[in-house]
C-alpha cells in the first residue's frame, strides 16, 4: 500500500512543504558551487570518450588525478551604518594586503568630476544606458543616491575575481538585500558600532557631514544594525570598538572565510 495514502491532508501538506524546502536547499547549494557542474560534466565526457568497462575504477583514477580547480574568490560585502569605520578597516586591509583585494568599478549616471577617468573611477553612463543594464539584470545591486544612479555590475565584480582578488563591496543594507537575490557566492560581514552614542561621536568627529545629515544617518543606523545583527543575515558581525582589536578579528574572520588565502 502507498504509505502516503494513510496520511491526513494536513500531514500531506507538511510533507510537501518539507519536500519543497529540501529542493530549495539543494538548488541553493548547487548555485553556490558551480564547480560541481564542471566536475560532473568533465567526468561524463571522459567516461563517454573512454567508455571504460570498469567505471568505478575509472572514476577513482579520474578523480585521484584531479588537480585543484582554481576557484574565483567569493566577493566580500562589508556593510554597516555610516560612520562605523568600514572605510577605515578597508583602508587598513588594502594597505596591508594590496595584492589580495580589489574594488569593482561601479556604474553611475552622474557626470565625471575633474580628474575622474571613465572606466577607472566609474563607468559613466547615460540614464537610458543605465536603465537598459538594469532591465538586462546586469547589476548585482543598484541605487538612487541624491538623484543619481549607482550600480555594481556582475561583470565588474567578475573582472576583479578573474585577477584572483577578493572583490570588496562596501555597500549599504539595501544593497545587501539585492546582492542576496543574485545567484553568486558572496561572504557577508557586518560592522557594528559598540553603541549608538559611539557611532554619533565618530560621525561628528569625522567632521564631514552637516548636522542634518548626521541626524539622518543616526536615524537610519538603528534599522541597519537590527538587520545586520539579525540571525542569518551576515556570516560575521564585527563590533568595531577598539580599532586594532577589530582589525585583528577581521583578519581572523577572513582566514576562516577564505581558507585558501594566507592572512597573518
Ligand X SMILES: Nc1ncnc2c1ncn2[C@@H]1O[C@H](COP(=O)(O)OP(=O)(O)OP(=O)(O)O)[C@@H](O)[C@H]1O
Q: Which is nearer to ligand X, 73 or 85 (CB)?
A: 85
Of residues 81, 86, 82, the one with CA closest to residue 224: 81
Q: Which is nearer to ligand X, 88 or 138 (CB)?
A: 88
User: What is the closest distance, in whole angstroms, from the C-beta atom of residue 205 to ligand X in the complex?
Assistant: 5
Strand order in the sheet with 107-108: 123-124, 107-108, 148-153, 139-145
User: What is the closest distance, in whole angstroms, from the C-beta atom of residue 83 to ligand X in the complex?
Assistant: 5
Q: Which is nearer to ligand X, 53 or 144 (CB)?
A: 144
Candidates 92, 113, 149, 204; catalytic one: 113
User: What is the closest distance, in whole angstroms, from the C-beta atom of residue 81 to ligand X in the complex?
Assistant: 7
Cα–Cα distance measured from residue 194 to residue 171, given in angstroms and rounded to the nearest whole number? 20
18 is catalytic: no
Q: Which is nearer to ligand X, 72 or 167 (CB)?
A: 167
Judge whether 61 and 43 are in contact, CB under 8 Å. no
Candidates 149, 202, 206, 262; catalytic one: 206
- How many CA atoms are closer than 13 Å to the CA of 197, on its beta-carbon side? 0
Judge whether 84 and 173 are in contact, CB under 8 Å. no
Cell 541597519, located at residue: 224
User: What is the closest distance, in whole angstroms, from the C-beta atom of residue 230 to ligand X in the complex?
Assistant: 19
Of residues 137, 116, 111, the one with CA closest to residue 126: 111
Task: Report in angstroms the alpha-carbon separations of 170 from 56, 60, 123, 130.
Answer: 47, 44, 17, 20
Q: Which is nearer to ligand X, 32 or 233 (CB)?
A: 233
User: What is the closest distance, in whole angstroms, from the C-beta atom of residue 43 to ligand X in the complex?
Assistant: 46
Interface with ligand X (CB under 6 A): 80, 82-88, 202, 205-206, 240, 243, 246
- How many CA atoms are closer than 13 Å to the CA of 155, on its beta-carbon side? 8
Candidates 110, 202, 204, 217; catalytic one: 217
24 is catalytic: no
149 is catalytic: no
Q: Which residues are catalytic?
A: 113, 206, 217
Amino acid at each position: 500500500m502507498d504509505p502516503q495514502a494513510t496520511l491526513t491532508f494536513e500531514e500531506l501538506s507538511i510533507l510537501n512543504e518539507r519536500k519543497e524546502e529540501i529542493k530549495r536547499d539543494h538548488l541553493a547549494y548547487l548555485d553556490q558551487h558551480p564547480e560541481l557542474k564542471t566536475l560532473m560534466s568533465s567526468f561524463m565526457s571522459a567516461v563517454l570518450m573512454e567508455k571504460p568497462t570498469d567505471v568505478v575504477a575509472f572514476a577513482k583514477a579520474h578523480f585521484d588525478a584531479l588537480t585543484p580547480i582554481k576557484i574565483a574568490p567569493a566577493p566580500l560585502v562589508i556593510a554597516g551604518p555610516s560612520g562605523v569605520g568600514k572605510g577605515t578597516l578597508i583602508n587598513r586591509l588594502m594597505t596591508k594586503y594590496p595584492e589580495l583585494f580589489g574594488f569593482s568599478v561601479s556604474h553611475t549616471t552622474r557626470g565625471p568630476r575633474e580628474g575622474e577617468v571613465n572606466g577607472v573611477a566609474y563607468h559613466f553612463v547615460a540614464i537610458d544606458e543605465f536603465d537598459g543594464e538594469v532591465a538586462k539584470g546586469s547589476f548585482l545591486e543598484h541605487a538612487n543616491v541624491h538623484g543619481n544612479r549607482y550600480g555594481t555590475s556582475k561583470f565588474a565584480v567578475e573582472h576583479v575575481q578573474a585577477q584572483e582578488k577578493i572583490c570588496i563591496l562596501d555597500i549599504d543594507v539595501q544593497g545587501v538585500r539585492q546582492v542576496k537575490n543574485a545567484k553568486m557566492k558572496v561572504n557577508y560581514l557586518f560592522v557594528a558600532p559598540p553603541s549608538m552614542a559611539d557611532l554619533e561621536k565618530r560621525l561628528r568627529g569625522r567632521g564631514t557631514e552637516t548636522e542634518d545629515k548626521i541626524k539622518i544617518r543616526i536615524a537610519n543606523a538603528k534599522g541597519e544594525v537590527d538587520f545586520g545583527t539579525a540571525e542569518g543575515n551576515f556570516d560575521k558581525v564585527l563590533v568595531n570598538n577598539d580599532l586594532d582589536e577589530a582589525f585583528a578579528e577581521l583578519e581572523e574572520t577572513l582566514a576562516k572565510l577564505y581558507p585558501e588565502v594566507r592572512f597573518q
